[in-house]
Structures are given as structure tokens and as C-alpha cells.
Amino acid sequence: MIHLENVVKIYKVARRGTGTKETLRAFFRRDYTEIRALNGLSFDIQDGEIVGLLGPNGAGKSSCIKICTGILYPDSGTVECNGFIPYKDRMRYTREIGVVFGQRTQLFWDVPVGDSYELLKDIYDVPEQKFRENLQELTELLDLQKLLMTPARQLSLGQRMRCELAASLLHDPKILFLDEPTIGLDAVSKLAVRKFVRKINEEKKTTVILTTHDMQDVEALSERVMLIGKGRLILDGTLSDIRREGASLDESLVEFYRDMERDDQESGDAAE
């Protein structure tokens, strides 16, 4: 179970104008602006759910994932995942989760994928027997036989993503976080990734939380959709809550964001 209540995360951003004069001035005096990446975010996710996190770039999706995985400390609010406070119990909590960041790699660049897996086995203290079973199962599901002996640097993006997914599941995590798992993938790989995530969720009851900009990912995977904008939860429901008559999902979403901006402005005007 994942429980977030009123979570706030603030980043300080140094800002300055362009040009020599401004640069020199900024050297002596820096202006910081506070960016509220998360501004009172609250939600609950039950075991076994697949939840899609949607939102425009900079909405706070990644910050949300990073707080849920124990990477970042929130500035205020309550976070509880499976009975742990992620950022405090990081060492124990991270044993129970698997993470894939689509834009980065967790495999060791210079060594065959299989060696990276062996290391993960020791990092997560997976018993030998269990490791063999899981590896075999994942190898079949993701068609990895040929890839295990290949150094990670020589994999194509699609192959690498399959290897990343396997890497994040070797230790039977209870929760799987996928941050843009289909970014840059071709149609075949996207379908393979979706099918696989679905299967893992059904068979192992793994809770899956994924962020994506690909509406088809969400359509294929998650019944539940959470829309995040400006660090808050705007909508918690299903795709049909977003979909508008006669428009594609992407168009509907754009409409939705536009309405959100307008509401924001109006409430701002009203306050003045």
C-alpha cells in the first residue's frame, strides 16, 4: 500500500537574466526562486493496482516517483509505502521495490548483462535457487537468451529496456515503479513491454506505478489514472473521465490541461 498525504517538495532554482552584465551581477548575488514541484500531493494506492501517472512535463511526476522510491526527501507531508517511510527506511524499503527509469540505465556498461544480474542478486540477497527460477522465467517472458552474454553498451534501446525490466524484477519486488518505460521504443518493443507488465501484475500481483506520455500505454495497462499538474492531484479516475466526445486521447488530454490552466487563472483573478 502506498499512502501520500500533503506531500510538498520545493526546489530552489538560481535564476538570472542573460547577457554579460546580468551574469556578472549573478556572480555576486544570486536570486533564487522556489519551485514547488509537489504542492500538497495526496493519494492512496492499494496492493495489486496498476496506476498510470499522467501530467505535462514539469508537473511533478518524476519528483513523485523519486519520493515514493526513497531517493528524495519531501519537505513536508506524510509518505508511507508498505509500512515504511521510504526516505528514512531506504535500505530496508528498497528491497521490496523495483525501479526502471526509462531515460537511464541500471546495467553496467562494460560487462555482459548476465554479470549485472549476478551483482543484483547479491545486492538484494536473492537466494541462488530463487534467482535461477526468476531469471529463467524472465528470460522466457522477455526473450533474453541471446542478450545475457552481450555487454549492455551493445544493446539496442528496445533490447536494453527488456533487460532493464528483468533487472528490476529479479528480487520479486512488491511494487514496481516505471518512469517512462516506453520512451523512444519502437512499436514492437512497446507492445512487448506492455504485455509483460500486464502479465507480471496479473501473475505476481505486483503493484505497478508508471509515468508516461504515451496514452496508449495507459490505455493498454491501467484502469486507474492519476493526473498531476503543478504538483497537485487534479484527477483520480479512469481514462473515460478524461476522454471527450469525438477527440483522441491525446487531444482530450490537451483540452484537459487547457481547462486546468484556465481554471487556475480564473481562481487567481477571483482572489485578486
Q: Is residue 110 part of the contact set for other proteins (CB under 8 A)?
A: yes
528480487: which residue's cell?
Answer: 171
DSSP, collapsed to helix, strand or coil, labels residue 117 as helix
Q: Per CB under 8 A, which region of 15-23, 112-120, 154-162, 223-231 contacts other proteins?
A: 112-120
Looking at beta carbons only, is 176 or 239 nearer to other proteins? 176
Q: What share of the chain is helix, strand, coil (3-state, %, to 5)?
A: 45, 25, 30
The least distance separating other proteins from the CB of residue 69, rounded to whole angstroms, comes to 5
Q: Cβ distance 181 to 128 under 8 Å?
A: no
At 128, list the grid cell.
Answer: 541462488
The least distance separating other proteins from the CB of residue 135, rounded to whole angstroms, comes to 16
What is the distance between the alpha carbons of residues 126 and 67, in angstroms, rounded to a whole number? 25
What is the distance between the alpha carbons of residues 260 and 254, in angstroms, rounded to a whole number? 10
Q: What is the DSSP string of 249-260?
A: HHHHHHHHHHHH
Looking at beta carbons only, is 119 or 148 nearer to other proteins? 119
Residues contacting 259, CB < 8 A, separation 6+ = none
Q: Interface mask (CB under 8 A) for other proteins, residues 53-82, using x and -? A: ---------x---x--xxxxx---------
Looking at beta carbons only, is 118 or 172 nearer to other proteins? 118
Q: Cβ distance 82 to 175 under 8 Å?
A: yes
Q: Per CB under 8 A, which region of 121-129, 186-194, 202-210, 238-246 contacts other proteins?
A: 121-129
Candidates 1, 8, 111, 148: give the one binding other proteins (CB under 8 A). Answer: 111
The least distance separating other proteins from the CB of residue 17, rounded to whole angstroms, comes to 19
Looking at beta carbons only, is 36 or 243 nearer to other proteins? 36
Looking at beta carbons only, is 35 or 234 nearer to other proteins? 35
> Residue 9's Cα: distance from chain center in Å?
16
Within positions 174 to 203, which residues make up the interface with other proteins, using CB under 8 A? 177
Q: Per CB under 8 A, which region of 113-121, 139-147, 201-209, 224-232 contacts other proteins?
A: 113-121
